[in-house]
Amino acid sequence: MENKEQLDRIRHSCAHLLAAAVLDLYPGAHNAIGPAIENGFYQDFDLGDKKITEEDLPRIEEKMREILKTWDSFQINEVSVEQARKDFAHNPYKLELIEAFAKEGKSITETKQGGFLDLCKGGHVHHPKNDSKHFRLLSLAGAYWKGDVHNKMLTRVYGTAFKTKQELDDYLRMVEETKKRDHKKLGRELELFLFDETAPGMAYWLPNGLIVYNTLYDYAREQYKNFGYQEVATPMINKKELYETSGHWEHYRSDMFISPMSFLTNESDDPLQGSEVFGVKPMNCPNAMRIFAFKTRSYHTLPLRFAETSSLHRFELSGTLNGLFRIRQFRQDDAHIFITQDQIEEEFSHTMKMVAKMYEPFDLSYRLRLGTRPEKFMGETKDWEHAEKMLKNALDASGIEYVTAEGEGAFYGPKVDILMKDSLGREWQTGTIQLDFQQPKRFKLEYIEKDGSAKNPTVIHRAIYGSFERFLGILIEHYAGKFPLWLAPVQLALLPIADRHVEYAKKLYQDFSKEGIRVTLQDSQSTLQAKIREATLQKVPYMGIIGDKEITDEVISIRSREGEDLGKLSLSQFLQKLKEDIDKKA
């Protein structure tokens, strides 16, 4: 927590520094907002009729370093609405924020560093001259003010910052390597998915991509059965009352898609009359509580494990959207497990066995992180202390390495996050296991104990892959698009050398297809080398080359995407090898 908070402070401070530099270099420009984000920071600007290109970034960096020499500290002052209006009379974006804060009754704070004044609630380093000097500007993008397409398009400048020069240099090297593996680039080249401006933050899955998606999903569903889960599906849109009961309306509303729904009897009706407020589902847990409440439950039916993979929607800010990594519509291998308190350790152990099984096919190591009570939480402190103790006992009993992140729990309970490391050494938070005493109480859930008394169940919320979209984005970059055989959208490409070999290739295509192998036939008039190159670029695991000798001997010459010649194999030999590798998830 300390490291993350420190990084956020460094990066937020650099966002102010960026604003100061741009406003100095481009008189008349206005800065809008500039938060710290997952891997750095950004600042939005209205530059009027001026433009910034990536060639300008080194000049802006130079100005930032020049200004930083004059920044000894950040001075935070609470001011009146009138004073804030006066100070930012020249900036329409700050004025709009000031009016919104005033309407909501929020206090208004200004920050001053050197000669630069900005509107900000705080969260900076104490000694910017020393603490914020290891930064780099990275890229530009367009962003609508407040993420609304009806508002003006602003210029967004992205950067990153670290505590030390070594950390910054290591990150920049990783950025260069990551560019080669960028899942957004590979997603288009391999025809897996695309993003369209008509649905920002929501992926269009193309045929190849949906094969990979469904293959991963099918493996997850297979494990649901093996580990005693029952699958359910619940509504995507729910009345706000459901989220008021669960606590999400109070603690999560700003991250939800919310809309009043009007019921009109004729065209002249006022569309706001008789409207009800609905939220698009951001997570499945409130609905899972309703399913548990459907009928009387007994202690001997627990643990009761409900799995759901419905689409979820969360309103991520447009500036934070990042391909499949941060997205507005996604599905996850979600589950809610209803247990007694006596079953917590046993069920946690059961869940960790499932984690090991579901990560087994991937060459990925992972560790755990315990998140404790956050600053804004739901329920009684004593319940939290008890839940944290129970979860820590379960972790200790598991023998798995973990770290503790104070204040990083969910608003309804402590949690254990799964931190997975990829081939570049990057660590990703994928799955999560959360212990919840609060929602069962709020929904008045009960089960009948042995002695006939009614008790509230405890709920474990768990996702192992987490978002399928994010997990697949991680896998694309981890494998650089070279999926293992069982996941590959095309497992075999048949390459006839000449036209006279196409007929035999078609027969092989039908034979492999009937056996469930995902196969393509390249029957164009291109040269063999061109066909090999095309299959290699598409990262197809195997190529089957078919010529005169192969037809005569009723074999296939097999070549791997790495260029290895595997020799001539009969259909039955090669089919057996493929099936064995697929079954082993090799």
- Written as six digits, the tokens of 47 are 């530059």
pTM (global) more than 0.85 = no
Residue 383's contacts (CB-CB under 8 Å, 6 or more residues apart) are 437, 438
CA pair distance 110, 32, nearest whole angstrom: 14
Q: Is 182 left (phi over 0), alpha (psi -120 to 50) or beta?
A: beta
Catalytic, out of 136, 281, 305, 336: 336
SS3 318: helix
Which pLDDT score is estimated for 1?
Answer: 40
> How big is the chain by its Cα radius of gyration, in Å?
28
- Written as six digits, the tokens of 308 are 């759901």
Is 426 assigned a catalytic role?
no
- Of residues 412 and 238, more confidence is placed in 238
Peptide bond into 303 cis (omega under 30): yes
Which pLDDT score is estimated for 400?
Answer: 81
Is 14 assigned a catalytic role?
no
Which pLDDT score is estimated for 2?
Answer: 54
- Written as six digits, the tokens of 310 are 């419905």
Which pLDDT score is estimated for 47?
Answer: 95
- Closest C-alpha to 428, from 436, 420, 438, 437: 420
Q: Identify the band that residue 253 occupies on the pLDDT scale cut at 50, 70 and 90.
A: confident
Which range has highest mean pLDDT (125-139, 313-327, 382-396)? 125-139
Which pLDDT score is estimated for 273?
Answer: 52
- The percentage of the chain sitting over the pLDDT mark of 70, rounded to a whole number, equals 97
Please provide the average confidence, as pLDDT, over all residues in the chain: 91
Virtual CA dihedral for 238, 239, 240, 241, nearest 10 degrees?
A: -120
Q: For the residues 175-197, what does the mean pLDDT come to?
A: 92
Catalytic, out of 415, 518, 531, 561: 415
Q: Where are the domains of the chain?
A: 2-173, 189-234+281-478, 492-583
User: Residue 142: is its pLDDT beyond 70?
Assistant: yes
Q: For the residues 26-38, what does the mean pLDDT come to?
A: 93
Is 336 assigned a catalytic role?
yes
Catalytic, out of 285, 417, 462, 531: 285
User: Residue 166: is its pLDDT beyond 70?
Assistant: yes
Is 538 assigned a catalytic role?
no
Catalytic, out of 118, 334, 422, 436: 334
Which pLDDT score is estimated for 136?
Answer: 96
Sheet holding 492-496, edge to edge: 519-521, 492-496, 542-546, 555-560, 565-570
Is 332 assigned a catalytic role?
yes
- Closest C-alpha to 227, from 308, 332, 305: 305
Q: For the residues 299-321, what does the mean pLDDT come to?
A: 91
- The percentage of the chain sitting over the pLDDT mark of 90, rounded to a whole number, equals 71
Is 255 assigned a catalytic role?
no
Least confident piece of the model among 145-159, 258-272, 361-375, 467-481: 258-272
Instruction: Please say whether the structural domain 2-173 has been given the CATH code 3.30.980.10.
Output: yes
Interstrand relation of 415-421 and 365-371 (parallel, antiparallel or unpaired): antiparallel
Which pLDDT score is estimated for 262?
Answer: 52
Which pLDDT score is estimated for 538?
Answer: 95
- Of residues 222 and 409, more confidence is placed in 222
Catalytic, out of 134, 314, 369, 559: 314
User: Residue 410: is its pLDDT beyond 90?
Assistant: no
CATH number for 492-583 (one of 3.90.420.10, 2.40.40.20, 3.40.50.300, 3.40.50.800): it is 3.40.50.800
- Of residues 402 and 472, more confidence is placed in 472
CATH number for 189-234+281-478 (one of 3.30.930.10, 3.40.630.10, 2.170.190.11, 3.40.50.300): it is 3.30.930.10
Which pLDDT score is estimated for 261?
Answer: 61
Q: Per residue in 257-304, pLDDT tens?
A: 888 765 545 555 554 455 688 889 999 999 999 999 999 999 999 999
Q: Identify the band that residue 559 occupies on the pLDDT scale cut at 50, 70 and 90.
A: very high
Which pLDDT score is estimated for 121?
Answer: 84
Count of beta carbons in the 10 Å neighbourhood of residue 165 = 10
Q: Per residue in 523-557, pLDDT tens?
A: 888 899 999 999 999 999 999 999 999 999 999 99
Question: Could you check whether 2-173 and 189-234+281-478 share the same CATH topology?
Answer: no
Least confident piece of the model among 27-31, 382-386, 575-579: 382-386
Q: Per residue in 438-485, pLDDT tens?
A: 889 999 999 999 999 999 999 999 999 999 999 999 999 999 999 999
- Look-up of token digits 């590798």: 581
Is 334 assigned a catalytic role?
yes
User: Residue 252: is its pLDDT beyond 90?
Assistant: no
Least confident piece of the model among 30-44, 96-110, 411-425: 411-425
Phi, psi torsion values for 418, nearest 5 degrees: -95, 120
